[in-house]
Structure 1
Amino acid sequence: MKAPDRISEFTSDRARTRFHTAYDQARARLWPAPPETVVAPTRFGEVVAYRFGSAEGTPVVLLPGAGGNALSWTPYLARLSAHHPVLAVDPIGEPGAARQTAPVPDEGAVVECLAEALDALDVRRAHLVGMSYGGWLALRHELRFPGRAASLTLLDPAGFGAVSGRFLLWVVAGGLAALTPGPLRRRLAGPLGNATLRQEELLGLLRASLSFRRRLPAATPLADAELASITVPTLVLLGARSRLYDAADVAERLRGLVPTADVEVVPDAGHDLPVHSPGPVTDRIEEFLAGR
C-alpha cells in the first residue's frame, strides 16, 4: 500500500517545538550518560542513531514501532549495551530527532531508507531488533537484503494480516486515555492492554506526539513464501493479548514456515509487550544473542 505523496510532519511549528522540548527533556532525564549521536544521511532525509556500549562486535540495531523513537528502548539499553554495541534509531517518518526531506511512498522505500542509513552508519552486519512496525521493517529488510542481518528479534511484529478495526480502536483508545487524569489513566492501562499509560516519564512526550502526522505506508502482509525464505536465526515474541492479531495463530504459522525461528507467546502481555514485560523480554533477547 502506498503512502500519500507527503512528508510526515507536525501540525504546526508550535507543535513541533513542544514535541522537541519534551523529547530533549526526556532524553536528558532517562539517559543520564549521553550516548554518541550519529546522523545518517539518506535520500529521504537524515536518520538519527544513538550509539551505546562498546564499539567492538556486531551491533544491535533497535527499531521502534509506528509513532515511536529511540526512547522506546530505554528499559533495554543498559543491559544490552553491557555486552553489545547498540544503536537505537530514530527513523525517518516517525516523531523523533530524524529529519524527513522527501516522501517515503511505499514498502520498498521504507526498506531502502533503512539500508541507506545502515550504510551511512558503516553497519555491514547487524542484529536487527524491532517492535511492531519496526519488526515488520526488519523482516522486509532481510527479504530484500538476505544475510545482512546476523539475527532478527521481532516483538509483536506487524505484517501478519491487514490492520483491523479492533487494532485501530485500541490505538485510538490509548491516545484518548493518555489525556485523562493520572489515577484514571493508570487504571485504564490494564483493561486497555496498554502499559504505556503507566509510563509517567514518557507521558509528556506521548501527548506531544499526538500532533504528529505520520505519512508512511502501512505494513504490508507477509506471504507464506516470503516467510519460508527466512533462514537467519530469528526470535519472535508475541503478546498473548495482542489486539493486532491472534497470537496463537501467528505462532503456529511461523513455526510451520520458518524453521530457524524460535517463537514464543508471552502470557498477559498484549501489543504493549515491550513496555509491559521489559525484564523478561531483555532476558530472552540476551539469551538469544549470546554467542552470536
Structure 2
Amino acid sequence: MQKTIYRKKEGESLFKEAYDRTLQEWDVPYGSSYVNTRFGRTHVIAAGPKGAEPLVLLHGFGFSSTMWKDNIKDLSEQYRVYALDFVGDINRSVATKQIESKADCANWFSDVLDELHLHKANVMGMSYGGFLALVFAILLPNRVDKLITICPGASLQKQKKQFFLRSLHAGIFPSAQNIDRFIRYMSADASKIDSTIRYQFIVAMQNCIPRIKVFASYLTDDELQKIEAPTLLLIGNHEVQYNPNAAIERAGRFIPKLDAHLIKDAGHGVTLEQPQVVDQHVLQFLQK
C-alpha cells in the first residue's frame, strides 16, 4: 500500500484548502473527476470544448495541475485540455501502488488515456512533467501526437549539483522562508509568479512529502532519437538546473522533429513567469 503524502494528519486539510483555493481562481469553466489506473485514482481537471482535439498537461514536481492557472484560458479555447495530477506527487490523486520505473510511468499514462477514451493526444509537460512527456513520447509513440516539453527536468543535460542541493534543502527544512528563497532562486523574477500558486507550493512543501521513486534523469542519445512526435522545446534563458543553450543544442542533434526556443526573462518556472509567451509558442506549434 502506498504511503500517504501527508507529513501529519492535519496537513491533508491544509493542503486541500490551498489546492482548491488555486483552482477556484481558474477563469474558465472546468470539470474535476477521477479515473482508475493500476497505480491508484488519478485526479483530472478538464476544460475546453468537448470533442475538440485533446491536450494533456503534466505539472512540475511538488506542484499540481492547478499550476496551469495562468495558461488554461488560452489553451482551452480551441482544445479539450486534461490536466493530470501525477500519482505520488503532491496533489489530489490517490496512489495505491508506487511508480518505480519509466515503464510504470508509461503504463500509468496509458491507463489514464484509456479511461478518458483517448487513443492519442497532444502532450505538454513542465519541469518534471516535461521529463514525463519525453518518456511517454519515447515509450508510447503511438499515443503522443505532438509533444511540448518545457524546461524538462534533467532529460537533456545533467542537473547542476547546486540545483539538487537547494531542492533538497527546501524539502528537508520547509520553512516559509526557505521555500520562498528556493522559488526566488529558480526564477528570473519571482514577483511575476502568481501569489496563490506560490502560497499553494509553500503549504504543499510544509505539509506533504512526494512519494515518487522515479526522478527526472538524463535521457540517452538513443532514447531521444526514438521520439517520433513533432516536438516543441521551451527553456528559460535564466534556467538554473543546467545550461539552457547546451540543452537546446543537444536536443537539436537527437530529437528528429524539433522546434526549440529560448524564452527571455524566465528561469526554471517558465510557464509561471511568462505564461502569455509560452501560450503563444504552444498554440502556434499545435496549429501548424
| Same fold flag (TM > 0.5) | yes
Report the secondary structure of 1:219's partner residue: coil
Q: Which residue, out of 21, 37, 41, partners 2:17? A: 21
Deviation readout 1:132-164 (Å, 9 max, x if unpaired): 111111111111111311100010012224443
The corresponding residue for 2:91 is 96
Runs of 4+ in 1 over 6 A off after TM superposition: 173-178
Q: Partners in 1 of 2:237 and 2:27 — Cα distance?
A: 34
Unaligned regions of 5+ residues in structure 2, if any?
none
Q: Say whether 1:214 aligns with 2:177.
A: no
Q: Which residue, out of 226, 230, 234, partners 2:227? A: 230
Displacement of 1:202 in angstroms is: 2.3
The corresponding residue for 2:72 is 77
Paired letter, 2:274? S
Displacement of 1:94 in angstroms is: 1.4
Deviation readout 1:35-84 (Å, 9 max, x if unpaired): 11221101111111111111123201010011111111111111111111
Change (3 A) 1:191 1:38: closer
Contact 1:177 1:197 in 2 (8 A): no
Alignment of 1:95-114 (within 5 A): 95-114=90-109
Contact 2:63 2:91 in 1 (8 A): yes
State the TM-score, normalized to the length of structure 1.
0.88
Report the secondary structure of 2:123's partner residue: strand
Report the secondary structure of 2:71's partner residue: helix
Q: Partners in 2 of 1:177 and 1:43 — Cα distance?
A: 32
The corresponding residue for 1:128 is 123
Q: Partners in 2 of 1:228 and 1:246 — Cα distance?
A: 21
Q: Partners in 1 of 2:36 and 2:186 — Cα distance?
A: 42
Contact 2:30 2:47 in 1 (8 A): yes
Contact 1:107 1:219 in 2 (8 A): no
- Percent of pairs with identical residues: 26
> Alignment length, in residue pairs?
282
Paired letter, 2:137? E
Report the secondary structure of 1:55's partner residue: coil
Paired letter, 2:210? R
Change (3 A) 1:196 1:157: farther
The corresponding residue for 1:241 is 238
Alignment of 1:35-74 (within 5 A): 35-74=30-69
